[in-house]
Structure 1
Amino acid sequence: MVRFKNRWFLVEFIPIGQSRPAEGHLDGKQIWSALRQSVLSNFGDTGWGSVALSLTVKYYSPTTSICIIRVARDQHKIAWGALTLLSSIEGLKYIPNVIHVSGTIKHAQLAAVAHNREVIARYRAQSRTPSAYHDSYEEYLATSTLEIESLQD
């Protein structure tokens, strides 16, 4: 029996013209449809036919604007190219920053948790809060870590 091999992308969507992401504006379905449009416009029906069955958005956090995307290993370069060429989602401009690419969901989860901690540290530095200060980000880090770790392949 042959197992289905995947590539997992950890992507940060950096908003252009906004200091922080518009919380609650994006969701996984909007990201998936924007990726679909990017694949169709840049690689045509053949490109979409090759990635359509395996392309899924497994996780999206509106607070830190990171996303975990799964695609088949053989077609991951098409999906990566479509991500790189993506410029707007639902009319708002974003820069997709591919942070990590891995072959297992476990490594994508570890990279996502580490990246969440870095982003929260940046938010705290911008607001000039001490690192020992307990705020709503502590609760977010705990819940997002549980959500990310509960993802299944």
Structure 2
Amino acid sequence: MVRFKHRYITVELILPKVPEYKPFYLKSHILSETILEKIQQVHGDFGLAAVKNGFVAKYCNENTRIAIIRSRHGPHRFVTSSLPFITKIGKLDVILKTLHVSATMKHSFKFIQKHQRSYLDTVWSKLRTDEERKALEEAVMNFTKTDISINIERLG
């Protein structure tokens, strides 16, 4: 039996035309298809065939706009090299910024916690009441509500 190693790529979605305070709901298959189309354009059939097996979008936080993409070890380089070339998801202009590449989901979530904590520190200075701060902290730091499968159920 052969064990396949995976890499988890943590990506930030930057949407210039959508305000930061508005949540951005994204279906996983749309994100996956967009990335695979770009890999096809940049790396051709070989890159697409190498990446396609084991490729999936695992997590998306609609408040902080962070997603985790899983790819097999080795072909993950095709994914990371293609991400900066993505300029649109659907009809929206978008910039994908690679934040972190890790070997396990656990390390990805640890990185996201640190990243989201720093995000909260910058946004908290703009909020006036403790209730607003607690509501924002719950929305940003709760990983179960922002699972990508739940986002699909809300939109579908």
Which TM class, normalised by the smaller chain length? Answer: 0.7 to 0.9
> Is structure 2 residue 53 aligned with structure 1 residue 53?
yes
Taking the aligned partners of 1:84 and 1:32, their CA distance within structure 2 comes to 15
Taking the aligned partners of 1:144 and 1:89, their CA distance within structure 2 comes to 23
Taking the aligned partners of 1:43 and 1:9, their CA distance within structure 2 comes to 18
1:1-153 map, 5 Å: 1-20=1-20, 22-125=22-125, 127-129=126-128, 134-144=133-143
Contact 1:61 1:67 in 2 (8 A): yes
**Please, what TM-score do these two structures have when normalized by structure 2?**
0.81
Cα distance, 1:26 vs structure 2? 2.0
Provide the aligned length of Structure 1 versus Structure 2: 147
Q: Which amino acid is the alignment partner of residue 143 of structure 2?
A: S
Change in 2 beyond 3 A, CA 1:52/1:21: farther
**Please, what TM-score do these two structures have when normalized by structure 1?**
0.83
Unaligned 5+ segments in structure 1 are 149-153
Contact 1:124 1:131 in 2 (8 A): no
Identity of aligned residues (%): 25
Deviation readout 1:92-142 (Å, 9 max, x if unpaired): 1111111111112211110112222222333323x3436796431132245
Taking the aligned partners of 2:144 and 2:111, their CA distance within structure 1 comes to 11
Contact 2:5 2:72 in 1 (8 A): yes
Deviation readout 1:64-90 (Å, 9 max, x if unpaired): 100011101110110101212111111
Taking the aligned partners of 1:92 and 1:142, their CA distance within structure 2 comes to 26
Change in 2 beyond 3 A, CA 1:131/1:43: farther
Contact 1:51 1:79 in 2 (8 A): yes
Change in 2 beyond 3 A, CA 1:64/1:89: same
Aligned-pair RMSD on alpha carbons? 2.4
